[in-house]
Structure 1
Amino acid sequence: MKYVIIFLTLIITSFSSLANVIISNTRVIYPEDQKETTVQLINRGTSPALIQAWLDENDPNSTPETAQVPFLLTPPVVKIEGDSGQQLRIRFTGAAGSLPQNKESVYYLNVLDIPPKQENLDGKNLMQIAIKSRIKVFYRPANLKIAVSDLHTYLSFNAQGNQLIASNNAPYFASIATISAHGKALIREPVMIAPFSTLTIGTTEPVSGGQALDILLVDDYGSYQKYSLTTK
């Protein structure tokens, strides 16, 4: 029997309808002053599921063997019974102060739902899909100078034709679900602006200085918060 597994990666923005095992969070915040943080997995199917999980530094092609991160994730492999759940524990194992102390750092949690081997299919070709979900893990230093709820006040947008030059002067990652003007979306997909950095964002139509924008920011809980800004 030919046995082929295809891997499908999902970046989680909402619960996947394809995977039996889902991650209850859409993002994870790891405060520096906590010993560990947890992530809840839920098996919505009726059959047991085998899960493999690991963290990486923004490498979608990473594997548990190649990923090098200052975190310990347990359990790395676990069987989750149908209609049941399992917690993953993430513990920072790096040296104190080894990550930037003036801004967040981001990592990615991978959860691979490995399909069970089908029985009584000898002599038949078989293709199965192993679904890999990925969500962001933000490591947040304890002594950042501003509140995360004020993030939007540290964002600015410079209009340049069919581009917006977005500046983030906050110590937090700015995850923007959409940018719109007069009810029309200006970007085709979400963007994330790193702390203390700028990002050039292509727009679906020209923008001008003094133009009102509505942005949807993703907060710590995965909810959208709407703010109105004006371009420069």
Structure 2
Amino acid sequence: MLPSFRSLTTFCSCLALLTASLPNAYAALTISHTRVVHESAKRSSSVIVANPSSRPYAAQAWVNTEADDATTAVPLITSPNLFRLDPGNEQTVQINALPNDLPQDRESLFYFNLQEIPQTAADAGQNVLNVALRTRIKLFYRPSQLKGRPQDRLKDLAWSIQQIEGKTHLVVDNPSPYHFTFNRLIISGAGVSETINAKGMALPLGRQAYALQNVPVTNGLQVTFTTINDYSGTTAEISSPVAQP
């Protein structure tokens, strides 16, 4: 989507490899959201990028797919997509939708990316390493004809135990048109409980599976969970029974 900045993206990707060995590296720029919901009836949505640090930064913003590639076309573009941000300043980045044929019966998932590029001070020596860090947040394209609140559909999630490739999994079937990100997910039964590292979301009109380690498959299993809402808060805790195979 950003061919004019392809070389910059390649450069930033190389620098990103360096950050893997920098456990105390933190992004200097901040974003006003931890997720964005773009309703299809709106021409644009926005995030505010702030620079609370004491040095200027250049920044690049773009939208891509979960695959995190630079070649797949997406129907959302950022404006501006490249800008300078001085210390203490803010920049509003608009996310504009292009004509598209995205599904109208469910949300579509994209990602908003913010790449910060530190500016080299004029008096800096030649042996200075500037590391470019990237922040990546979920961006949900939501058809406006979807009615009701996503959290009202949490009760529709159906949970079961399934054997997948010889291993026991907790499976969730999501009949709703919304993505659900679990903040907390616990399965319990027979006096044993297990907290599940649920990195994968419950996909709209789809199925997600989570491998189990400790909980025995017995009658009376149940899950207790919370999810992240549209405003990055946590939904009320819900408990649901788990069906046996």
TM-score, normalised to structure 2, is 0.80
- Pair 1:200-2:209 in alignment: yes
Aligned partner of residue 94 in structure 1, secondary structure: coil
- Pair 1:19-2:27 in alignment: yes
Against the structure 1 CA distance between its residues 9 and 36, is the aligned structure 2 distance closer, same or farther, given a 3 Å change threshold? farther
Aligned partner of residue 89 in structure 1, secondary structure: strand
Q: Which has the higher contact order (CA 8 A, sep 6+)?
A: 1
- Size of the aligned set, in residue pairs, is 219
Contact 1:39 1:88 survives alignment (8 Å)? yes
Give matches, 1:43-62, under 5 Å: 43-60=51-68, 62=69
Picking from 137, 156, 165, the partner of 2:139 is 137
Counterpart in the other structure of 1:179? 185
Unaligned runs of 5+ in 1: 11-15
1:7-47: per-residue Cα shift (whole Å, max 9, x none)? 2699xxxxx98111011101000111111111111111022
Unaligned runs of 5+ in 2: 1-10
Counterpart in the other structure of 1:151? 153
1:187-227: per-residue Cα shift (whole Å, max 9, x none)? 12432121111111112323534312211211101111122
Contact 1:107 1:137 survives alignment (8 Å)? yes
Residue 94 of structure 1 aligns to which amino acid in structure 2? P
Residue 130 of structure 2 aligns to which amino acid in structure 1? Q
Partners of 2:193 and 2:241 lie apart in 1 by 15
1:56-91: per-residue Cα shift (whole Å, max 9, x none)? 01123x34xx35211221000011121121111011
Partners of 2:176 and 2:239 lie apart in 1 by 17
CA shift at 1:103, angstroms?
0.5
- Pair 1:77-2:101 in alignment: no
Partners of 2:231 and 2:17 lie apart in 1 by 25
Partners of 2:130 and 2:67 lie apart in 1 by 24
Give matches, 1:94-113, under 5 Å: 94-95=99-100, 98-113=101-116
- Pair 1:32-2:43 in alignment: no
Partners of 1:221 and 1:9 lie apart in 2 by 32
Contact 2:182 2:198 survives alignment (8 Å)? no
Q: Which has the higher strand share?
A: 1
Contact 1:71 1:94 survives alignment (8 Å)? no
CA RMSD, 1 decimal: 2.7
| Identity of matched residues, % | 24
- Pair 1:165-2:171 in alignment: yes
Partners of 2:181 and 2:40 lie apart in 1 by 20
Contact 2:194 2:214 survives alignment (8 Å)? no
Aligned partner of residue 205 in structure 1, secondary structure: coil
Aligned partner of residue 193 in structure 1, secondary structure: coil
CA shift at 1:184, angstroms?
5.1
Residue 49 of structure 1 aligns to which amino acid in structure 2? Y
Picking from 219, 229, 242, the partner of 1:219 is 229
Partners of 1:70 and 1:219 lie apart in 2 by 24
Against the structure 1 CA distance between its residues 129 and 169, is the aligned structure 2 distance closer, same or farther, given a 3 Å change threshold? same
Residue 233 of structure 2 aligns to which amino acid in structure 1? S
Counterpart in the other structure of 2:6? none
